[in-house]
Amino acid sequence: MSRRLVFTNRKGGCGKTTTSVNVAAALAHMGFQVLVVDTDPQAHATMSLGISQADLDADLSHVLEGRWTAADVQKTTYVPRLKVIPSSRRLADFERRYSNSGEARFWMRDHLTGVMDAADYVVFDTPPTTQLLTLGSLIAGTEAYIPMQAHFLAMEGMIEIIELVEQVQRHYNPQLSVRGIIPTFFEDGAEFSEQLMEELRDRIGDELVLKPIHHNLSLAEAPGSGHTIFQHKLRSTGAVDYYKVALQVRNLGDPPEPSATAPQ
């Protein structure tokens, strides 16, 4: 069974999409088959992987409504072994139409099962909300990761997401659990950054605090070129940081052997 990773935080600007895309790319570079599911109507993960919305005949909203199959909608990317189910602004209309539907929260899980089973890792990039698309991702996933800006004011949002994950686990998906907090925009030598790491370890346990992502200009530049950090600037601090985090994620579970020679 694939490992299904949900990167989520209700606060924007925390590096959630950057983390989703670059962890997914790092796992693909390790030789795993990876599927990114872009559930954010802003479609930043889709664009970061070089997919233009203008070229899309269909996106995730068509899959969730049962009009297209996930296999027909998924796109290959410039990263070997990495595919994406793209998003578009149509997802915002989807969420508005079905926000009060009890059944719709399960469509992500039910309509993506086939393509998820074909991957080693599935990475959900969620919108900065706790509404239908995020809830559906958590029901479909098994491991929640919370990118969190290295600032004490971000602690409240982190706790809210942990509570949401626990609610989904109790009521909908007993396989789901929080597997890691990923501090982003970390500043080496800054007292507040070190204090934050200590506070996180004290409050949620050392094993849940993953390696930090340092503030790095290359990470901000990469999406504008439609690239992951590994294609944009391989020898940057950002590339090193995300590879280390991906190694931690890999080691938190029991992934299959990398299928580097598998068809792409």
CA dist., res. 140 & res. 147, Å (int): 19
pLDDT mean over 32-60: 93
Structural contact between residues 147 and 7, judged by C-beta atoms closer than 8 angstroms:
yes
- Is the pLDDT at 64 greater than 90? The verdict is yes
Read off the pTM. 0.93
- Is the pLDDT at 52 greater than 90? The verdict is no
Q: What is the pLDDT of residue 255?
A: 52
pLDDT-derived band at 224, boundaries 50, 70, 90: confident
DSSP 24-84: HHHHHHTT--EEEEE--TT-HHHHHTT--GGG-S--HHHHHTTSS-HHHH-EE-SSTTEEE
pLDDT mean over 209-224: 91
More confident residue, 264 or 226: 226
Q: What is the pLDDT of residue 239?
A: 96
- Domain residue spans in the chain? 3-251
pLDDT mean over 79-98: 96
- Each residue of 115-151: pLDDT tens digit? 999 999 999 999 999 999 999 999 999 999 999 988 7
**Superfamily classification of domain 3-251:** P-loop containing nucleotide triphosphate hydrolases (3.40.50.300)
Structural contact between residues 220 and 214, judged by C-beta atoms closer than 8 angstroms:
no
Q: What is the pLDDT of residue 226?
A: 84
Q: What is the pLDDT of residue 33?
A: 98
Q: What is the pLDDT of residue 264?
A: 32
Task: Name the least confident of 53-57, 93-97, 105-109, 127-131.
Answer: 53-57
Q: What is the pLDDT of residue 162?
A: 94
Give the percent of the chain with pLDDT over 90.
Answer: 75
- Each residue of 154-198: pLDDT tens digit? 788 888 999 999 999 999 999 999 999 999 998 887 777 778 888
pLDDT-derived band at 262, boundaries 50, 70, 90: very low
Residues 6+ apart with CB under 8 A from 70: 63, 85, 111, 112, 114, 115
Residues 6+ apart with CB under 8 A from 64: 94, 104, 107, 108, 111, 136
